[in-house]
Amino acid sequence: MAYSDKVIDHYTNPRNVGTLDKSSHKVGTGLVGAPECGDVMRLQIQVDDNNIITDAKFKTFGCGSAIASSSLATEWLKGKSVDDAMKIDNMDIVEELALPPVKIHCSVLAEDAIKAAINDFRVKNGMEPIALEKSHH
Amino acid sequence: MNIPIYLDNNATTPMDPRVLEAMLPYFNEKFGNAASRNHPFGWVAEEGVDYAREQVAKLIGATEKEIIFTSGATESDNLAIKGVFEMYKEKGNHIITAVTEHKAVLDACKHVEKLGGRVTYLPVKEDGLVDLEVLEAAMTPETILVSIMYGNNEIGVIQPIKEIAAIAHKYGALFMTDATQAVGKIPVNVIADGIDLLALSAHKMYGPKGVGALYVRRKGPRVKVTAQMDGGGHERGMRSGTLNVPGIVGLGKACEIAGLEMESEAIRLSALRDKLEKALTVLEESYVNGNVEHRLPHVANISFKYVEGEGLMMAMKDLAVSSGSACTSASLEPSYVLKSLGLSDDLAHSSIRFGLGRFTTEEEVDYAVEVTKTAVTNLRNMSPLWEMFKEGIDLDSIEWAEH
């Protein structure tokens, strides 16, 4: 199948590939997916004292759409407050990257990764994890 | 060197220019219907078909009357399996095949099951070969057909055909083989191998798409199949339909060329394949799938652990290859062939098939190696699994969220 230009752009020049110090209490890490399903995303956020995401990094094992979804997610996360980050919906990613139906699960995974990273950050800082609605797999 | 480089010759092959040349007159000047017995237009077409029948027969050690032209290997597989089931149902209803067969065989068998047949799907060993003892144990007095492919399309392993045929015959069953990937690549001889029915296709051996053949043995034993297409009674009543004369002429020519060149081609291709494989398995955590001794000369199937096949192919966009990854199919299930070798899903997701061919050059193979190495390295740098592996984390110890 042909990929959209935006998927190809993110895949070819992925933004924010890398690793943040997961032991830091300023860093939240989300690891979602499973190797046997063919995609695993790790998304990390660094949060400052004002609850603003100052940095975001990812590493992804998966197809082009999965890599592009996580790359886009890190781009969107930077500069957002944690509360606003919580509102990122997988369908925004689908729309931005023009993902075909068979690739929607890649965007779902990216949304799950964002939420998992935020919850990891919250738990590390003594907050309750936010209850997540069961995502649309 | 032309980019992209075509390394997917198990999917299909480009047509040899010599084949095209042989076919061209049969589209216009020699356009007759091979079944028109009463004028020269028909005779000329029939001559072309007869000659092609000899060319096909010669390549596999058969006689021309044993060749039934079809639309391709899928039709040949269907005709053989369903046709034998119908023809021999008085004798029994049991068919044996293997889990690594092509879908054309598996789905024809599923159809037979709906009609009251019983089918045994043999597992394969880790190297992709059928276990002869397991096969023998599955044979029953009701077994009418054993259908095992010659060479596998995904991993290229060559089954012990002669031994399998001997077991089938020992129990009074017929032996059929889907030899789509093998004919024209390695010597296949229906007499020496003990084959009763054999499916082949033109477009896997530098011929045109849409044409193939079914070999049906005429002597010792005389095999019959019930036609699956009703009509004018062409092809000795086994396959009705006006013959695809240009296609058949092309298939014949493709067989002739393969017969002349396959020996030297196999030597050239296996050297290139080995070069590719050696260069790529230098990469850490890369594994060749399937038996490396008994296999077709032109196929290499390699898993690059911790990178996903579709993502990898996207990074190798200058190469046309295929992957056992789920993401390349609509089903999201990784390759059933690789899984039946006992490969874990993640390794199946990480596999790439390189299919070399007649027009593959050494320069292209060298380029493919470089492209693949760079892609694997780049994607591993982006892979969380690779990072964990490098940190010594056991990936099996992590509780993954299945989704």
Sign of CA dihedral A106, A110, A113, A119: negative
The tens digit of pLDDT for each residue in A100-123 reads 988 999 999 999 999 999 999 999
CB B186 within 8 A of CB B151: yes
By residue range, what is the domain housing residue A117?
5-124
Q: Where are the domains of chain B?
A: 5-10+262-392, 17-258
Interface test mutation site (partner B, options A63, A71, A105, max chain B beta carbons within 10 A): A63
Residue A109 maps to a domain: yes
pLDDT at A132 over 80: no
The tens digit of pLDDT for each residue in B2-24 reads 999 999 999 999 999 999 999 99
Residue A133 maps to a domain: no
> How far is residue B27's CA from residue B246's CA, in Å, rounded to a whole number?
6
Where do we find the tokens 């320069």? B363
CA A136, chain centre distance (Å): 16
Rounded to 5 degrees, what angle do the CA atoms B119, B124, B130 make?
85
B contacts of A67 (beta carbons < 8 Å): 311, 382
In chain A the first and final C-alpha atoms are separated, in Å, by: 22
> What 3-state DSSP class applies to A137?
coil
Nearest to A34 among B310, B381, B402 (CB): B402
Would an 8 Å CB–CB cutoff place A30 in contact with chain B?
A: no
Q: How many domains does chain A have?
A: 1
Sign of CA dihedral B318, B320, B325, B328: positive
Give pTM, 2 decimals.
Answer: 0.92
pLDDT at A134 over 80: no
Exposure string (b/e) for B70-107, b if CB count within 10 Å is 16 or more?
bbbbbbbbbbbbbbbbbbbeeebbbbbbbebbbebbbe
* CB interface of B with A, residues 305-364, below 8 Å: 306-311, 314-315, 325-327, 330, 332, 334, 344-346, 349
> How far is residue B36's CA from residue B42's CA, in Å, rounded to a whole number?
4
Domain B17-258 belongs to what topology?
A: Aspartate Aminotransferase; domain 2 (3.40.640)
Q: B5-10+262-392: which CATH number, 3.40.50.12780, 3.30.300.30, 3.90.1150.10, 3.90.78.10?
A: 3.90.1150.10
CB B259 within 8 A of CB B253: no
Closest to B235 in 3D by CA, of B264, B253, B215, B263: B215
Inter-chain contact A37–B384, Cβ cutoff 8 Å?
Answer: no
Residue A131 maps to a domain: no
Inter-chain contact B382–A31, Cβ cutoff 8 Å?
Answer: no
Q: Report residue A133 as tokens.
A: 């609605």
Instruction: Report DSSP letters for B153-182, one per residue.
Output: TTT-BBP-HHHHHHHHHHTT-EEEEE-TTT
pLDDT category of residue A137 using cuts at 50, 70 and 90:
very low
Would an 8 Å CB–CB cutoff place A79 in contact with chain B?
A: no
Closest to A52 in 3D by CA, of A86, A81, A88, A77: A81
B contacts of A39 (beta carbons < 8 Å): 308
Inter-chain contact B311–A67, Cβ cutoff 8 Å?
Answer: yes
> How far is residue B114's CA from residue B120's CA, in Å, rounded to a whole number?
14
Residue A136 maps to a domain: no
Please name the amino acid found at residue B229: M
Give the start-end residues of each E strand in B99-164: 118-122, 143-147
pLDDT category of residue B56 using cuts at 50, 70 and 90:
very high
> How far is residue A59's CA from residue B381's CA, in Å, rounded to a whole number?
8
CATH number at residue A19: 3.90.1010.10
Average pLDDT over every residue of B107-113: 98
Residue A50 maps to a domain: yes
Closest to A66 in 3D by CA, of A47, A43, A84: A43
B268 contacts: CB under 8 Å, gap ≥ 6: none
Residue A59 maps to a domain: yes
pLDDT category of residue B210 using cuts at 50, 70 and 90:
very high
CB B9 within 8 A of CB B360: yes
B190 compared with A132, residue with greater pLDDT: B190
Chain-wide mean pLDDT for chain B? 95
Find out whether the peptide bond into A35 is cis, omega within 30 degrees of 0: no
Instruction: Report DSSP letters for B15-77, one per residue.
Output: PPHHHHHHHGGGTTTT---TT-TTSHHHHHHHHHHHHHHHHHHHHHT--GGGEEEESSHHHHH
Topology match between the domains B5-10+262-392 and B17-258: no
The tens digit of pLDDT for each residue in B279-329 reads 999 999 999 999 999 999 999 999 999 999 889 999 999 999 998 775 555
Q: Quick one: pLDDT at residue A1?
A: 60
> How far is residue B96's CA from residue B173's CA, in Å, rounded to a whole number?
10
Residue A108 maps to a domain: yes
Residue A129 maps to a domain: no
Catalytic residue ranges of B: 327
CB A58 within 8 A of CB A16: yes
A4: exposed, middle or buried (Cβ count in 10 Å: 0-12, 13-18, 19+)? middle
CB B62 within 8 A of CB B215: yes
Looking at B43-47, B64-68, B328-332, which range is the least confident one?
A: B328-332
Would an 8 Å CB–CB cutoff place A134 in contact with chain B?
A: no
Closest to B148 in 3D by CA, of B159, B134, B132, B163: B159
Looking at B129-138, B220-229, B343-352, which range is the least confident one?
A: B343-352
pLDDT category of residue B403 using cuts at 50, 70 and 90:
low
The tens digit of pLDDT for each residue in A34-60 reads 888 889 999 999 999 999 999 999 999
Where do we find the tokens 């092509």? B102
Pairing relationship of beta strands B299-304 and B351-355 according to DSSP bridges: antiparallel
Interface test mutation site (partner A, options B305, B310, B382, max chain A beta carbons within 10 A): B382
pLDDT category of residue B395 using cuts at 50, 70 and 90:
confident
Closest to B354 in 3D by CA, of B292, B303, B293: B303
A contacts of B285 (beta carbons < 8 Å): none
The tens digit of pLDDT for each residue in B331-340 reads 667 889 999 9
The tens digit of pLDDT for each residue in B160-205 reads 999 999 999 999 999 999 999 999 999 999 999 999 999 999 999 9
